[in-house]
Every structure is written in C-alpha cells, then in structure tokens.
Structure 1
Amino acid sequence: MAARLALKDQLFTREKVERVADEIARAHPGFAAAAFATAVLARFPHLELKARISWMATCLADHLPDDFRTAGGILIRSLPAPVDPALSDGDFGDFIYAPHAEYLARHGCTSEDLAFSLAGLREITTRFSAEFAIRPLLDAFPERVLGTLREWTDDEHYHVRRLCSEGTRPRLPWARNLTLPPDTGLPLLDRLFTDSTRYVTRSVANHVNDFSRKDPDLALGTLERWWESGRQHPREMAYVIRHAARTLLRAEHPRALRLVEASLAGVRGRGGGRTRAMQEGTV
C-alpha cells in the first residue's frame, strides 16, 4: 500500500505552484513564471506547511515589482474566481493562495497601505481564508481594522463574514496570538451569531469556546444573551451553544450543562425556551 502523502504535500504541489505562476504571468506578462516556480519548489522538500507559505511569500516578493501596491495589484488581478457565495458552508478554498495574503500582511502593514491591504485580503479570503494574515494588521492598527471588520459583518460573501470572527479568535490554531484582550471580537460576534450560514456560525462558536477557557462567565453570559434574544433559529442556536461550550461541557461545568439542556429542550418544543427555563430555575 502506498504511503499517504503528508498534508503539506497535498496542499502545496508542483502543479499548484506552477498554476499560480501562470496566473500571475497572465496578470503581469513580465513575471518570470518558470524562475518563480523553480525557486519555490527548490526548498519545499525541507519545509513544513506554514514554512512553505512563508517561503512562497518571500519568492513572490523576489519576483514581483518592488513597489508594494503595484505588486499587490498584480496578485489580486491574478486570482481565480471566488468560491461560490451562494453556498452555506465550507468550500474552504485552496491553501495555495495563503502566500498571497501573507505577502500583503508582510509588506502592507503600514498606516499608508492599510486600506489597500485590507481590500486585498477581502478579495483573497473569498479564495482562501485570510484569517492568519489579518492578525498582524489587527495588532498594529486595532481600531481601523476592527472598524473595517464591523462593516464586513454585513458583506454579501459568507467567507468575508467568517473572516470577521475567525481572524479575531483569541486562540486561532496555527496562528500568532493577538496582543489584544480576548473579548476584542465580541462586538463582531454579536452581529454574526444570527448568520444564516453554518460556516460563519461554526466560527462564532469556536471563537466563544476560545475565550471560555479564560472567562467562562463571559462566554456563558454571551450565549445566554444570544439565546434569549430569539434572533437565531432555535436549532442553529442550540448548535452554537453546544459547540461554543464544548470545553466547559467536558469539564462538566454546571451552568454550561444547564444551558445546553435548556436550549435542546427549546428545540424539542419542551420548556418554552429560555424564559420558562429561567422561571423554573434550570438556568
């Protein structure tokens, strides 16, 4: 039986690197596609997944024009069509476009280039999530980036809405930690928990689970407030509560257990939702 390819070798293949090189060359005929692909692939055997993203971003800088906005514009024009905005869940996109986002974050994290970089990340995230790349911009310019993310919570593309939650997660896997308070993204979540797409609400739940590890009362109070609002469908709200409270449930946290049970009772038509549960003293 043939050995299964490592994830890094499934996501970053010669074919994908050469495809990206051709896409960039079509957007900018002066781009040395063959030289770029050769440089990228030369080090791939020695690099893990995240290091491959970083190395490919370095090679982009080496082969694109020196002017950041010129180079960034070429990358954005080279992108394929966005993933289908009509879907309600995960066409996650293609990891091969993560280096494009890293290039923007690495070279465009300045006050003058911030708006350009954010606009570029919005485009990239509809091809592959820019959740890693937006974090250095968020750390450097929190008010401006959070203001943009607030606008994006109403974006027509569900990948952009998801980025508002995923990019601000306190404990995003594989990502650098934010220097901001763990509840920084909560005003965004207050706008996203009602989303109609599971891709977004799953991210919201993961985000709440992140900060539940340090502040269970804040996490549970948030979930209770959302449930009581009645703004999300009961079945989806029960999913969000259960998924967001999973760390607390594993620890058998009494308040979390009561909340999950009451939310499920509401879905089953028993208990009449939060109001009756509170009256009966179960939450």
Structure 2
Amino acid sequence: MTVARIALKDQFFTREKVELIGGEIERVDSAFRRDEFVAVVVARFPELELKARIDWIAMRLERHLPHDFRRAADVLVRSLPAPADPALSDGDFGDFIYAPYAEYVARRGRTVEDLDFSLTALREITTRFSAEFAIRPFLDAFPDQVLATLLVWTKDEHYHVRRLCSEGTRPRLPWARNLTLSYDVGIPLLDRLFADPTRHVTRSVANHVNDIAKKDPDLALDTLARSRDTGHQRQREMRYVIRHAARTLIRANHPRALDLFG
C-alpha cells in the first residue's frame, strides 16, 4: 500500500495555522478582521507553492493591519507566542507560519528611518521562526549597519538569533535571494560563532563555510584552520564542523581539506 506524502506547503500552511495567527493578532488588535483575513488567505492556497504562500500572507497582512508600519509591526510582535526554548541546542526550528511576519517587515520596514525598529522586530520574530530570508534585503540596502548589528547578535542569549548571523549571510542560502555583497562578508561573524555551544549554530556555520568553499577553497580552509587553532571549540565539535564545512572539498579529494580533516 502506497502512503501519499503530504507536501511541505500543505504541512506548514493550513487553514488551521492561518486561523491560529489570525486569532493571535485579533487578541492584541480588536480591529483585525480575522475571519475575512483567513478566508482570503486560504482561498488561494491551492494555486500557490510554499514560498508564494509566504509572500501571499505577507501581502494580506499589509491589507489587514494598520497602515502605519510601526504600529502594524508592533501588533505582529506582541501577538507572537513564547520564543523557542533558549536552553535547547538543536532541533527546534519554530513554526513556518511566522515566516510571513519577517517578510512583512522586509517589505514595509526597509527604510533608513525604520531600520533599527525593523531589526529589533526581526530579532523577535527569528526566535519563533528564522528570519534568514528577510534579513538579506536589509543587508543589501544597509550593509554596514546590519553587519554591525549582526556582530552584536553573535553574542545574543538566544541561539536562534546567533544562528541568524550565520544563516542570513550565507552566500548560497537555499530558497533565498542572492546577496549583492561579497561571498566573504560573513567571515567576521563566523570567527565569533565557531565556538558556539549549540549544534544548531555550528551546523549553520559549517554550511556557510561550505558555500564559501565552492567559490574560494583556500579562504574556506584558512577560516577553518584559524578557528581550529584557537582551541575555543571542543575538539569533537570542531571536527564535526570541519568535516561538514569541507565536505564538498573532501569529496573532491582536495589535498588541503583531507589534511585538515585527517
């Protein structure tokens, strides 16, 4: 007997999920037309793929929330459930239904005047579901300011925020728009994150370095060697990071990668 697989879009974005966020928003903004929002959003789900559903929900939030961006974003942030448990080290990715909130902030709050406010909102949202896609247009528009903020966030108490610093700056982040910045822009962030105590973060760091390795093998290997030589990360975890970060080069029998790992 063949069991039908449920597409990710139909697991993550359902009527029940839309009703959930509609109710959460309505509880902090009594003017929010929950039933209308749910009906309009769900009506287009059959024709939309996963990423398109995120964009569609963000568009409907624009129509149903207050016109003023800061008022609207404040409603979204106040409606959020409790953050993912900051004591965990891995395995809790949050709920995809909150991805449109970060997309909304990226669509409406990407201005000089709203930059600090928007980044604060994204920090809150990313502790419920990663804002790795939404941070990228901010990086392109305001690279110096956003990178400075990310540098501070590498020491944040919540591991989802620290992971965002690596994941959001990845040169080849899956499903995401390409950054206009150089592929090495995240190196100062990675240098601080290699010693992170959580696998959720170090896996992202390794994936980031693997992205770099496809463009500049020597830079990737230099970065790994420098981090290993600090001795700040546990030996077993550092070995995992090197193996995962250099996996493309190891499979290609790159001499330096094999030497670094072995």
Query: Under TM normalisation by the shorter chain, which class is it?
Result: over 0.9
Quote the residue 2:52 is aligned against. Answer: 51
How does 1:144-163 map onto structure 2 within 5 Å?
A: 144-163=145-164
Quote the residue 1:179 is aligned against. Answer: 180
What is the one-letter code of the residue matched to 1:142? P
Q: Deviations over 1:192-211 (max 9, x none)?
A: 00000000000000000001
- What RMSD over aligned residues (CA atoms) do the two structures have, in Å? 0.7
Quote the residue 1:8 is aligned against. Answer: 9
Q: Deviations over 1:62-105 (max 9, x none)?
A: 10010000000000000000010000112000000000000000
Structure number with bigger Rg: 1
TM-score normalised by structure 2 residue count: 0.99
Distance of 2:109 and 2:78 partners within structure 1: 17
| Displacement after TM superposition at 1:2 (Å) | 4.5
How does 1:60-71 map onto structure 2 within 5 Å?
A: 60-71=61-72
Distance of 2:230 and 2:72 partners within structure 1: 46
Distance of 1:2 and 1:254 partners within structure 2: 45
| Displacement after TM superposition at 1:4 (Å) | 1.7
What is the one-letter code of the residue matched to 2:125? I
Quote the residue 2:101 is aligned against. Answer: 100
Within the alignment, does 1:81 sit opposite 2:82 as a pair?
yes
How does 1:165-244 map onto structure 2 within 5 Å?
A: 165-244=166-245
Quote the residue 2:140 is aligned against. Answer: 139
Within the alignment, does 1:42 sit opposite 2:43 as a pair?
yes
Aligned pairs, number: 261
Within the alignment, does 1:128 sit opposite 2:129 as a pair?
yes
Structure 2 residue matching 1:90: 3-state secondary structure: coil
Identity fraction in percent: 71
| Displacement after TM superposition at 1:5 (Å) | 1.1
Higher relative contact order (CA 8 A, sep 6+): 2
Q: Deviations over 1:223-271 (max 9, x none)?
A: 111111111110000000000001101111111011111xxxxxxxxxx
Structure 1 residue matching 2:101: 3-state secondary structure: helix
Quote the residue 1:249 is aligned against. Answer: 250
Q: Deviations over 1:150-209 (max 9, x none)?
A: 110110000000000000000000000000000000000000000000000000000000
Structure 2 residue matching 1:138: 3-state secondary structure: helix
Quote the residue 2:259 is aligned against. Answer: 258
What is the one-letter code of the residue matched to 1:86? A
Distance of 1:90 and 1:133 partners within structure 2: 21
Structure 1 residue matching 2:36: 3-state secondary structure: helix
What is the one-letter code of the residue matched to 2:173? L
TM-score normalised by structure 1 residue count: 0.91
Q: Which runs of 5+ in 2 are unaligned?
A: none
Distance of 2:258 and 2:7 partners within structure 1: 39
Distance of 1:4 and 1:212 partners within structure 2: 34
What is the one-letter code of the residue matched to 2:149? T
Quote the residue 2:29 is aligned against. Answer: 28
Structure 2 residue matching 1:93: 3-state secondary structure: coil
